Amino acid sequence: MMQRENERNGEAGAMKAKKSIQCKISGPMLLGVLCVLTAGEKSQGATLVCDIYATGGTPCVAAYSTVRALYGAYSGSLYQVRRADNTTKDVGVLAAGGEANAATQDAFCAGSTCTISIIYDQSGKGNHLTKAPGGSKDYGPAPDLEAVASDLPIYLNGHKVYGVHITPNSSWTGTTQVGYRNTKANGIAKGDNPETIYMVTDGTYFNGQCCFDFGNAEMQPVAGGYGTMEALYFGNNNWWDKGVGTGPWIMADLEVGVYNMGGSSNYSDANKNGNKTNNNDVSFAYPFVTAMLKGNSKNATNGGPFTLKGGNAQSGTLATVWDGAFPVGYFPMNRQGGIVLGVGGDNSGQSRGNFFEGVMTTGYASTATDNAVQASIIAAGYGKTTTTAIGAVAAKRSGIREIRWQKDALSVEGLESGKLLMVTPQGQRRILNVTGGQAYTGRLPAGTYFVRSLGEASEATQRFVVLP
């Protein structure tokens, strides 16, 4: 019953998100995307990651986070905690589209030890994650453990929340590994169908063992053949490909190998003799890292087919690690449509890592969508210990009921004349004159912009997103 209820919450959240966003694309070359923010809704709601993917035509089919909602209208549970007495409690959000209500966990787990028993899928597909079953007799035969719920406290936009702390096995056949899996997933890309995957992880907690993964895996916890996986790998494993420096690197676990580039030169087969260096795969040693993997189909002409990107989840843009061919032997792909978090396809779990959020979509997302997702992640406020209030308060205090950006001007409903303060993604401040409800901006680079009536308190801030 609880699972069905959460699925309904996810479906309702996705439907509400679609209804609440009114995005218009201006110009034949996608010069910008306008998201209308109406009075009474949180302005961040129009720019959360799964709303952005939906607008871009690559909807989320699995969406996980223990720290925040990934749809602007999502108000269901994010995860479930299990107390030592085996009773459980769902942890939801502070408000629709907001951060996790960690006080629920703290109160329920006071005086006891709690673990994360379910990470709920916010997409409405019901692809919830629970602890992984045992797999390969050589590399992960024991069932996995649930992560200790209080092991990874962080701040997100001024709120204390908890991530998922993945700890490793003491040996290949040990019984201490933490990992999650769904072997009955619904709607995940299979075969040669394209998909996009990203996660926010931790660049300070990792190792070179196999395999801290998130993404598409076999439906059963056994090793498959080439291309039966397509999951993000994060760490400094150098058995196959490797990056520069000491890591951690963003790579892809494609089964029988972990790669950060394509071509015949780094096809290693099972003897692990690849060891080719991709100089674009730098060490992503940020406290919070955005890691992205996009896999296209063989006959597609819209990019890739194998793309890896990464960046600082607190600031800046995404860097391209690889955008080109798959390794030899992996094309076309044979994706299996299961989901794994924290362990390899055969349940190998000697790796370590931290997970805060991640999604899987159907379809190969555009570069514009990639950039907007990164902007939305930055706007979430990872590591920020103070809260920036936005949204409904902004509309009430400033009198602005709705803002629209298109090509080179803002339309401001509710403010006929006056001045606006606009802050660019780079932190630059501009004063805009409003005349007849219009404020000229000129062409704007892609990113998230903040705007408020000059003289109003900071609580009156609203935001809008511009896509290339």
Contact of 3 with 126, CB cutoff 8 Å: yes
Examine residue 39 and state whether it is found in any structural domain, yes or no. Answer: no
Task: Tell the residue number behind the tokens 């890592």, with chain if given.
Answer: 353
**CB within 8 Å of 315: residues ≥ 6 apart:** 378
Examine residue 405 and state whether it is found in any structural domain, yes or no. Answer: no
Name the residue among 451, 186, 180 with its Cα closest to residue 342. Answer: 180
Examine residue 387 and state whether it is found in any structural domain, yes or no. Answer: no
At 369, is the secondary structure helix, strand, or coil? Answer: helix
Strand (E) or helix (H) holding 324: strand 319-324
Amino acid letter, 96: A
Examine residue 83 and state whether it is found in any structural domain, yes or no. Answer: yes
pLDDT in tens, 10-60: 444 444 333 333 333 233 222 233 333 332 333 334 479 999 999 999 999
Q: Provide the 8-state DSSP code for 459.
A: G
What is the extent of the structural domain holding 103?
A: 2-32+49-380
Examine residue 140 and state whether it is found in any structural domain, yes or no. Answer: yes
Per-residue confidence (pLDDT) for residue 24, from 0 to 100 = 33
Number of domains composing the chain? 1
Per-residue confidence (pLDDT) for residue 17, from 0 to 100 = 38
Domain of 147: which CATH number?
2.60.120.200
- How many CB atoms neighbour CB 190 within 10 A? 16
Q: Which two tokens stand for residue 427?
A: 């932190």
Examine residue 212 and state whether it is found in any structural domain, yes or no. Answer: yes
Per-residue confidence (pLDDT) for residue 421, from 0 to 100 = 79
For the chain, state the CA radius of gyration.
Answer: 22
Name the residue among 223, 208, 216, 199 with its Cα closest to residue 65. Answer: 199
Examine residue 177 and state whether it is found in any structural domain, yes or no. Answer: yes
- How many CB atoms neighbour CB 271 within 10 A? 6
Q: Supply the DSSP string of 228-286, one letter for each residue.
A: S-EEEEEE---SS-B-STT--EEEEE-SS-EESS-BGGG--GGGT----B-TT------
pLDDT in tens, 376-415: 999 999 999 877 543 323 333 345 666 777 768 888 877 7
Per-residue confidence (pLDDT) for residue 399, from 0 to 100 = 59
Per-residue confidence (pLDDT) for residue 434, from 0 to 100 = 86
- How many CB atoms neighbour CB 106 within 10 A? 16
Name the residue among 180, 6, 23 with its Cα closest to residue 93. Answer: 6
- How many CB atoms neighbour CB 397 within 10 A? 15
Per-residue confidence (pLDDT) for residue 455, from 0 to 100 = 53
Q: What is the mean pLDDT of residues 97-115?
A: 97
Per-residue confidence (pLDDT) for residue 34, from 0 to 100 = 33
Per-residue confidence (pLDDT) for residue 4, from 0 to 100 = 38
Higher pLDDT, 348 or 391: 348
Give the catalytic positions in this structure: 255, 346
Per-residue confidence (pLDDT) for residue 252, from 0 to 100 = 97
Examine residue 119 and state whether it is found in any structural domain, yes or no. Answer: yes
